[in-house]
Amino acid sequence: MGTGDHAEVSDDVPHRGAPEADAMQYPLSGQAAVVTGGNSGVGRSATEMLLRAGADVTMICRSRERGERALAEIRDAEMRDAGIASGGAGAEATGAGGGKPGRTSDTAPQPEVTLEIADMSRQADVRAAAESIGARLPAIDILVNNAGISSARRTLSADAFELTFATNHIGHFLLTHLLLERLEAGRGRIVNVSSRGHRGGDLRRASLDDIARGRAWKGPLQAYADSKLANILFTFESVRRWGGLGITANAVHPGVLATDIWNKTPRIARLLIRPFTWFMDRPEVGGAAVMNLVAGPGGNGVSGSYFNVQREEKPSAQASDRILAHELWERSLEWTRG
């Protein structure tokens, strides 16, 4: 198994999908995807691309207002693409599901987009969302762990963890575990959205508990880098533990993108970054990087790898530390015990 250990997964049992005639146009038809942070940035772009490929998508969003707005916009776009006017119909969020937009063709798939509300830093929210999703979906084919923040100040979550680490790592670790049976049933492909900023992460500089609890806080950039390093360690360890279940997992740096995450950085950093946003890639670059790992060449049986956008590369030495990955996994289990 390569960088984290790389694994090739057998395709003897095909993923659920469209008949061969529709496979080229709708390669993910009949498949179920879950995307965290689906209302903006990479998550929004990935959601839209998954829908266009025929997958049903559940978006997990922290803000009900922003989630419902995104849901309405995505559904309106779906209906425009199908040549059907939306008529200004309102959107409905789940705790529950929502209706499917109409299609002009009887043979075209009718992908459904659904909204779940959860703050990924709050374990009670994550558990409630996972329970709702598990009740609706017998199998999950794709899980995109994307939601991320960079807290400008040392802030603790409702569960007394440093907020950036709680959101970016602990919440997604918990969600993935809670959905494990559904992922196994769908021979799921997990994509953990990390960052090349993980190279600045250092989870050996203090105890994992001190880092997770914010006692070893060294500023927002270090906290973000540590959380993105944790994403890759989680990816590689999940392949070692779950690869035999038919589940694949990869981590991806989606590019340097002009997304809302920059709004959460310290004010001075925002002022420094602002002139360069003109040169940043659009979120669609990140969405395409995700799609490469679930429907494109990069996702063809590849598991346990780190991608810089759509190019596989070696991550930092610490990201490939098997002992650290094992320690982080065991501590994360302790941190997420209900």
Distances (CA, A) of 65 to 70, 137, 277: 9, 24, 26
% helix, strand, coil for the chain, step of 5: 45, 15, 40
Sheet containing strand 248-253, edge to edge, reads 113-117, 56-61, 32-36, 142-145, 189-193, 248-253, 305-308, 311-312
Q: Are 50 and 28 in contact (CB under 8 A)?
A: yes
- The angle subtended at Cα 7 by Cα 249 and Cα 201, nearest 5°, is 55
Alpha carbons 225 and 205: distance in angstroms, whole number? 13
Selected catalytic residue, list 224, 242, 306, 335 = 224
Alpha carbons 187 and 305: distance in angstroms, whole number? 17
Structure tokens at 258: 């002009």
Q: Find, among 35, 50, 291, the residue nearest to 179 by Cα.
A: 35
Annotation says 224 is catalytic: yes
Bridge pairing between strands 305-308 and 248-253: parallel
DSSP state at residue 68: H
For the annotated catalytic residues, the residue numbers are 224
